[in-house]
Amino acid sequence: MAFEQDRRFLVHDVLDYSGHYASLDFPDAPGRELIDAILDEVGRFALKELKPLNRIGDEHGCTLADGVVTTPPGFKEAYQKFVEGGWASLTGTVEYGGQGLPDSMSLFLEELLCCANLAWAMYPGLSRGVLEALESHGSADQKRDFLTKLISGEWTGTMCLTESHAGSDVGLARTRAEADADGTYRITGSKIFISAGEHDLAENIVHLVLARVDGAPDGTKGISMFVVPKFNLDGTRNQVVCGAIEEKMGIHGNATCVLHFEAAKGYLVGEENDGMRYMFTMMNAARIVVGLQGICLAQAAYERAAEYATQRLQMRSLSGPKAPDQPADPIIVHPDVRRMLLTQKALIEGGRALVYFAGQLIDLVELGKDEEIRDEASELLDFLTPIVKGFLTEVSFESINHGVQVFGGHGFIRETGVEQFLRDARITLLYEGTTGIQALDLLGRKVLMNQGKGLIRMITRMDEIAAACQSALPDIADALTQLGKQWGEVSFAIGVAAQDDPEEIGAASVDYLFYSGYAVLAYLWARMALTASERADDAYGRGKIATARFYFQRLLPRTLAHKAAIEAGGASLMQISDEALTSGLSTPVR
């Protein structure tokens, strides 16, 4: 794929993944040769099998008849090749038939699949959270009965959390679980927005369902988790019915379903009323992947926009003709087009670096050689997860918007294909927790409630890279040092304000998320620029340093606007009455 050189520079030169794997408590650590072989083969599969189906999936969508969902033409055949190639089992536990490679390897796989065809990639991708939850919290019988088929890809999985009246407030869930004499439960209720909830790709679908046992406490303290398969273990059909496929803005090739559980047989995961804790095992894994999905769609849009900018002739450069043999210059010579392309490039490459950095932290949490390493990685990963999900999806959507704009009017029509990426990407800002929810998690839980442990570790790393950059890149080093100091001051000031008025947390949270996201990308761009400075005699290295300077000079100053909004406080948000805010509506809101 077009970004292969950037990817390998990041994997091998900046983050040194083979060295990272060698540092883990992991026998036969994957070396560079194996990493490259996996990247090559997955890339070929994605280009040959999935990319041609992306437009087909968007145009055909999924169909529902008599409770059975049929996926777009070619999707089922591609899935069978995916399973036959062993890709579903890449990081699965060896005990249950997996290849046992470190978890971060799955991010390499996810990126190539999602860049080629996000809607298709979601079918196997949804199994990731189910596997995480069952491996961490499932019983020995549940692991035996479900993990082998899930890891092989013969079965897929879903997360069934959302109900129409509750949205993200899962504590309001009404789905019920009634205990049976044989130790199983009968699950009754309806769930909406279930990605890959029903399809014809795999022979069975394993749903992880949040429900409330009779007599459970109200709210989140009374939520339990259950495994509810589409087909029971004896092969009979379970009472899980697809009532509808949601009519969506994008990702038409993925069946987003309304599922009705009609006294369906389910198996309790772990303990009753402990489902919320188990849910976050699924959600945190999914949030990293959703951030990556945004970057993938932005990458696809950028590739098309950059190619178009070199071919589209329009107007002359203000400094004189750049293509005098042509009737006009290619639009890539114009400063504003370059601004849009560089914004895309800087956000995409910085975002990919953030996801891959998070992938290393995931490995260290699981396989770090001592407790200190595991604890540091856990604190950093907890802090970065809402930034990966919330910030990266927001700036990816911005990036795709720039891609549409580069095309001008041609970007607004379906012929060029870039508008599909915009429609597909919009969901990434919503599912697995909206931007506002990620922002509250970051500021409320990961900074204020946690005494800023992850933040302090992040700023420490920024200071270390700033010191390393001082000789070769003093401008970047100084900016990074000042940024780390300011980040700590902004965080402290919010904490002080929140002591007098807790609403200040909600008022500041989204701006704080953006501030933090730009700060983390600055750290990663400094790392990339420092690595590139060692090869500044070639065009690729010079290009990386130039992009880093563009980021620091043209994008990082956005933090100042977010800082000003944070410091303004919540008064302008909360003082206006509900009536004044909704005046002019034809019907009153209350």
Contact 266, 187 (CB under 8 A): yes
Shortest CA distance to 204 belongs to which of 149, 131, 268, 282? 149
Contact 210, 192 (CB under 8 A): no
Q: In this structure, which amino acid lies at residue 543?
A: G
Residue given tokens 């697995």 in the structure block: 432
pLDDT in tens, the chain (590 residues): 667 899 999 999 999 999 999 999 999 999 999 999 999 999 999 999 999 999 999 999 999 999 899 999 999 999 999 999 999 999 999 999 999 999 999 999 999 999 999 999 999 999 998 999 999 999 999 999 999 999 999 999 999 999 998 767 777 889 999 999 999 999 999 999 999 999 999 999 999 999 999 999 999 999 999 999 999 999 999 999 999 999 999 999 999 999 999 999 999 999 999 999 998 888 888 999 999 999 999 999 999 999 999 999 999 999 999 999 999 999 999 999 999 999 999 999 999 999 999 999 999 999 999 999 999 999 999 999 999 999 999 999 999 999 999 999 999 999 999 999 999 999 999 999 999 999 999 999 999 999 999 999 999 999 999 999 999 999 999 999 999 999 999 999 999 999 999 999 999 999 999 999 999 999 999 999 999 999 767 899 999 999 999 999 999 999 999 999 999 999 999 999 998 998 878 765 55
**pLDDT computed for residue 570 by the predictor:** 95
> What kind and span of H or E run contains 156?
strand 155-160
Nearest-5° angle of CA 338, CA 435, CA 416? 40
DSSP-based three-state secondary structure for 211: strand
Torsion sign, CA atoms 341, 360, 111, 514: negative
- Calculate the CA 471 to chain-centre distance: 35
Torsion sign, CA atoms 222, 227, 228, 233: negative
DSSP-based three-state secondary structure for 451: coil
Q: Indicate the DSSP class of residue 265.
A: E
Contact 212, 223 (CB under 8 A): yes
From residue 485, give the alpha-carbon distance in Å to each of 25, 469, 475, 481, 527.
35, 17, 16, 7, 18
Domain spanning 451-572, CATH class: mainly alpha
Q: What is the pLDDT of residues 250-263, one digit of tens each?
A: 999 999 999 999 99
Q: Indicate the DSSP class of residue 237.
A: B
Let me know if 252 is exposed, middle or buried by CB neighbors in 10 A (0-12, 13-18, 19+). Answer: buried
Q: How many residues does the chain have?
A: 590
| Whole-number Å distance between alpha carbons of 342 and 528 | 16
Shortest CA distance to 184 belongs to which of 217, 130, 224, 215? 224
198 is catalytic: no
**pLDDT computed for residue 1 by the predictor:** 60
**pLDDT computed for residue 536 by the predictor:** 64
Contact 61, 249 (CB under 8 A): no
What pairs with residue 63 in β-bridges? 70
Shortest CA distance to 77 belongs to which of 108, 48, 106? 48
Contact 142, 227 (CB under 8 A): yes
Q: What is the pLDDT of residues 356-377, one digit of tens each?
A: 999 999 999 999 999 999 999 9
> What is the end-to-end Cα distance of the chain in Å, rounded?
53
pTM here is: 0.97
Kindly report the number of other CB atoms within 10 A of residue 62's CB atom.
22
| Whole-number Å distance between alpha carbons of 48 and 46 | 6
Catalytically annotated residue among 272, 379, 419, 432: 432
